[in-house]
Structure 1
């Protein structure tokens, strides 16, 4: 019964995140942590599930317009890919990995409850400086590979804090970046750990189905405030469990 419940929760997380154009790595890590999955399996599974759902989100939310966003994403994604491979190949001891991921989940929970920023009308032109963008991409790529998060947790607030994109456009830029960094991180993970948890036989189809349903539902059909609160509680519970482990 437990494997089925775990798969259903992963499907729900994928649907909730995909409904707003995100891939859900922090949510997958939270669910897997609550069920006591060991760290290497958490990391590999999160990267794979994140890649699947990021692919769905990129297709549904960006088809017909992806060409307009290749240039600003490229400056960040090009250095992120090799660094994500490197980070994915690194296996941190559980006593280091779990508190780091726990802290990231707690920060994610706080970020979900934090105001998103100014209104959409105050849109600014998306500008990603080449040098700074490449530096940021390399750092985020490495961090995403090490932690198994795909990088959205780092890139989304960074784009807004640096003034490179408004909140709405930042969300659109994150999906293709997360797709690339997740696949790169997974490649690095498989290089050092050439196996994935058997549970993915159930988890992957569940997440793909949830991602498809969520992406097609779209952000306008769900209450964003309620969504953020539900996800924040899940992330906070799992984060505290890992951070205090």
Structure 2
């Protein structure tokens, strides 16, 4: 496959997912696998792209003071602990088992995106106390870290709806999620780095593209053109959810054919 094809894909998805506070690995993993990469390499690359995209987006969100650090901290700590465990699982089971689990997680993520209500006012009243948010962060962080290490998913596709349910606004939820996904993906990537098999020039090109896309996507959140911004917030999540459900079905279909 031509390197420019990979770079173009990364550019588009890094823009879209950084806008939503996610890294895009939930798309990258099956896509890279279908394009001929072995599964563990696809997971490692997807996690690296997650790291670069969310790092780039987080620079913007931190500058805009939209990140809730006390809420993000327990997620980051517990995901760091769980990521190596997830990576151990991924190396201990067959590709078919991993893909089956991945397809189920993708389907759940798709349903979450379709039914998640992301439109609202800028910020709302938080519905959980700091102690409750800390406990939620520890528990969900362990799950996110495990998923990051095992499947190459940063967890943003679940974290953003959770933050919205806790009362975070449509700007602070993606911003806080991006910081958490940055670290969960980083620890997941470090757990997989030994099995990475790819041309380093292509990897550098994809990473740089994700860096640029992350800047563009995070800045879309602050467009003055409210109609365009609201369109993204209102419809992109539902369209993405449908795409994820289709990916889940295609993964299951391909497994049945083996």
Tell me the TM-score range normalised by the shorter chain: 0.7 to 0.9
The answer on 1:157 being equivalent to 2:176 is no
Cα 1:80–1:118 shift into 2, 3 Å: same
* Aligned-residue offset at 1:110: 2.6
Show the counterpart of 1:181: 184
Alignment of 1:69-218 (within 5 A): 69-90=68-89, 91=91, 92-116=93-117, 119-120=120-121, 123-125=124-126, 127-128=129-130, 129=132, 130-161=134-165, 163=166, 165=168, 168-190=171-193, 193-198=194-199, 199-218=202-221
| Aligned-partner Cα distance in 2 for 1:16–1:64 | 19
The answer on 1:235 being equivalent to 2:229 is no
| Aligned-partner Cα distance in 1 for 2:116–2:167 | 18
Cα RMSD between the aligned structures?
2.7
* Aligned-residue offset at 1:111: 2.6
- TM-score under structure 2 length normalisation: 0.80
Unmatched runs of 5 consecutive residues or more in structure 2: none
Query: Does the 8 A contact of 1:23 with 1:57 survive in 2?
Result: no
Query: Does the 8 A contact of 1:45 with 1:196 survive in 2?
Result: no
Show the counterpart of 2:38: 38
Query: Does the 8 A contact of 1:21 with 1:171 survive in 2?
Result: yes
Cα 1:118–1:20 shift into 2, 3 Å: closer
> How many residue pairs end up in the alignment?
241
| Aligned-partner Cα distance in 1 for 2:94–2:158 | 22
Question: Structure 1 stretch 133-142 or stretch 49-58: which is displaced more?
Answer: 133-142
Query: Does the 8 A contact of 1:26 with 1:149 survive in 2?
Result: yes
Query: Does the 8 A contact of 1:109 with 1:236 survive in 2?
Result: yes
| Aligned-partner Cα distance in 2 for 1:47–1:195 | 11
Show the counterpart of 1:6: 6
Q: Secondary structure at the match of 2:153?
A: coil
Cα 1:177–1:109 shift into 2, 3 Å: same
Question: Structure 1 stretch 201-210 or stretch 227-236: which is displaced more?
Answer: 227-236
* Aligned-residue offset at 1:105: 2.2
| Aligned-partner Cα distance in 1 for 2:168–2:20 | 17
Cα 1:13–1:102 shift into 2, 3 Å: same
